[in-house]
Amino acid sequence: METKAFQKIYTKITQITKATCSLQATGIGYEEMATVNGRLAQVVKLNGDNVTLQVFSGTEGIPTNAEVVFLGRPPVLKVGDELAGRFFNAYGDPIDGGPAVEGEEREIGGPSVNPVRRKQPSELIATGIAGIDLNNTLVTGQKIPFFADPDQPYNQVMAQVALRAKADKIILGGMGLTNDDYLYYKNVFDNAGALDRIISFVNTTENPPVERLLVPDMALTAAEYFAFDKKETVLVLLTDMTLYADALSIVSNRMDQIPSKDSMPGSLYSDLAKIYEKAVQFPEGGSITIIAVTTLSSGDITHAIPDNTGYITEGQLFLRRDSDIGKVIVDPFRSLSRLKQLVIGKQTRKDHPQVMNAAVRLYADAANAKTKLENGFDLTDYDERTMRFAKEYSNELLAIDVNVDTTFMLDKAWELFGRHFTRAEVSIRQEFVDLYWPK
């Protein structure tokens, strides 16, 4: 961090905690950036002349006579087309050995879009995965997380979705990524020849956790530049938001705030909403779509982090290993895309909504039949047919390694209906049955 002439240097710290330090200073703005012995810090509390700074990398080794310099500005990112293809740390400094990016300085975490200046999301994002395209269709301007246990292949699925979606820019915000996963993303993007469309802001597990708090804002400031200024379609990947929330709780804890549910700060909902609500479709064409990962602790979605996330995002996607077919599928029961109603049956074939619902309902019947079987009861003929259907549905449509277009998915679903059920059992609007029931 360069020091300019005439900047006042403070050298008398009055209080140090694990994450913060305080000193006497005047004329300081709230949320202003500072350096403490060269480490970046931000103003989190002002009380008279007493200024409390949150030191992002922690206060280990900070002496009471450390040099504190206030930078006179909130955290910023230099934006420009040169961002494309580059890798940065949480502060927006290059970590790929390349030169610093020159461009306009923008405050991160800036104001939100006036709701009346948004456009209703309306463009379908095709991924080729039936668990998504058929049952939980994604739309530009949407925000949706994968709810996954740490052992599930969410990073792989997310990379796959990112590459198949036709986005102008893909921005990766990595929070607490292991170095291996970071390199995985880098490789996958590189191999796909997509590196020039990718911008990454990465905080790995080797970096201090509190730094993560800057990553989503950095990624989304870059995203707003490309989506709003350049009218591009931008896809933002945030992984892992649970580690972001953990960092929030560390900070609030050190600021002596009263914790609410699951030791999370009371403002968790607002903190997360500020990030996710940056997803937007602009009327002029650009859009920001956010796909995030929220890792769960053994599938518990009632924990404060996934729970608050679910209330903010427009649906959620669950991955599950289907033991019948030995493959990972997108769980049709618990997954949901709230915006799918805007495109299904409109940008896809008219029978899409009804076929989707009927298939999931029959799949649910199969699950009941399975429970019956496990409890040692006899199965009816219908039960057995639903179970055969479920296995084929899972294998030929839901598995994430299937890559087909939506019309094919619909035809396949009708084929499975015809193979296993009567028309009454499927119970779909007559006009569609007349058109598509296999002859």
Partner 1 sequence: MEENKKTTGIVSGIIANLVIVEISGPVSQNEICYINLRGTRLMAEVIKVLGTKAYVQVFESTRGLRVGESVEFMGHMLEVTLGPGILSRNFDGLQNDLDKMEGTFLRRGEYTAPINTDQAWDFIPLAKPGDIVVAGSWLGEVKENWISHKIMVPFKFEGKYTVKQVQPAGTYKASSPVAVLTGPDERDYEVSMVQKWPVKIPIRAYTDKPRPFRLMETGVRIIDTMNPIVEGGTGFIPGPFGSGKTVLQHALSKQAEADLIIVAACGERANEVVEIFTEFPELDDPRTGRKLMERTTIIANTSNMPVAAREASVYTAMTLGEYYRTMGLKVLLLADSTSRWAQALREMSNRMEELPGPDAFPMDLPAIISSFYARAGYVYLNNGSTGSITFIGTVSPAGGNLKEPVTESTKKAARCFFALSQQRADSKRYPAVDPIDSYSKYLEYPELQEYLSENISEDWLGSVLEAKNILLRGKEAYEQINILGDDGVPIDYHLRYWKSEVIDFVILQQDAFDKTDASTPIKRQKYMLGKVLGVCNTGFSFEGFEEVNPYFKRIINVFKQMNYSLFDSEDFKKYEAELEEIINERKAA
Q: Is residue 437 involved in binding partner 1 (CB under 8 A)?
A: no
Asked if the bond preceding 240 is cis, omega within 30° of 0, the reply is yes
CB of 372 to partner 1, least distance (A): 8
Number of Cβ within a 10 Å radius of residue 249: 18
Binding to partner 1 (CB under 8 A) within 55-94 occurs at 74
Interface with partner 1 includes 315 (CB under 8 A)?
yes
Give the binding range for partner 1 (CB under 8 A) out of 16-24, 180-188, 202-210, 376-384: 376-384
Tokens 């064409």, located at residue: 285
Q: Which listed range, 11-19, 153-161, 165-173, 352-360, lies at the site for partner 1 (CB under 8 A)?
A: 352-360
Q: Does 333 bind partner 1 (CB under 8 A)?
A: yes
User: Angle CA(157)–CA(160)–CA(165) in degrees, nearest 5?
Assistant: 125
**Token output for 81:** 């087309």
Q: Residue 437 has which token pair?
A: 């029931």
Residue 48 binds partner 1, judged by CB under 8 A = yes
**Could you give the 3-state DSSP secondary structure of residue 377?**
coil
Q: If binding is defined by CB under 8 A, does position 280 make contact with partner 1?
A: yes
Interface with partner 1, residue 391, by CB under 8 A: no
Per-residue tokens: 291: 């796909």
d(CA 286, CA 232): 5
From residue 115 to residue 144, what is the string marking binding to partner 1 with x (rule CB under 8 A)?
A: xxxxxxx-------------------xx--
Q: Nearest distance from residue 156's CB to partner 1, in Å?
A: 25
Backbone angles phi, psi at 239, to 5 degrees: -140, 120
Q: Give the type of residue at 433.
A: V
Q: What are the φ and ψ backbone dihedral angles of 416, each rounded to 5 degrees?
A: -70, -40
* Beta strand segments in 270-426, E: 280-281, 287-295, 315-322, 327-330, 336-337
Site for partner 1 contains 258 (CB under 8 A): yes
Question: Sign of the C-alpha dihedral, residues 46, 269, 340, 403?
Answer: positive
Q: In the bound complex, what is the minimum distance in angstroms from residue 193's beta carbon to partner 1?
A: 33
The residue range among 98-106, 154-162, 312-320, 398-406 that interacts with partner 1, by the rule CB under 8 A, is: 312-320
Residue 152 corresponds to which amino acid?
Answer: Q
Residue of 106, 164, 303, 388 that binds partner 1 (CB under 8 A): 303
Question: Site for partner 1 (CB under 8 A): which residue of 180, 311, 324, 435?
Answer: 311
Secondary structure (3-state) at 56 = coil
Choice between 115 and 193, CB closer to partner 1: 115
- Residue 15 near partner 1 by CB under 8 A: no
* The one among 266, 285, 299, 438 contacting partner 1 by CB under 8 A: 266
**Among the residue ranges 59-67, 189-197, 214-222, 255-263, the one whose residues contact partner 1 (CB under 8 A):** 255-263
Give me the least distance between CB of 62 and partner 1, in Å please.
22
Does residue 244 touch partner 1 according to CB under 8 A?
no
Contacts of 153 by beta carbon, 8 Å cutoff, 6+ apart: 319, 328
Q: Is there binding between residue 49 and partner 1 (CB under 8 A)?
A: yes
How many Å apart are CA 144 and CA 142, to the nearest integer?
6
> Per CB under 8 A, which of residues 177..216 are in contact with partner 1?
none
Site size toward partner 1 (CB under 8 A) is 81
299: left (phi over 0), alpha (psi -120 to 50) or beta: left
Closer residue to partner 1 in complex, CB, 12/405: 12
DSSP 114: P
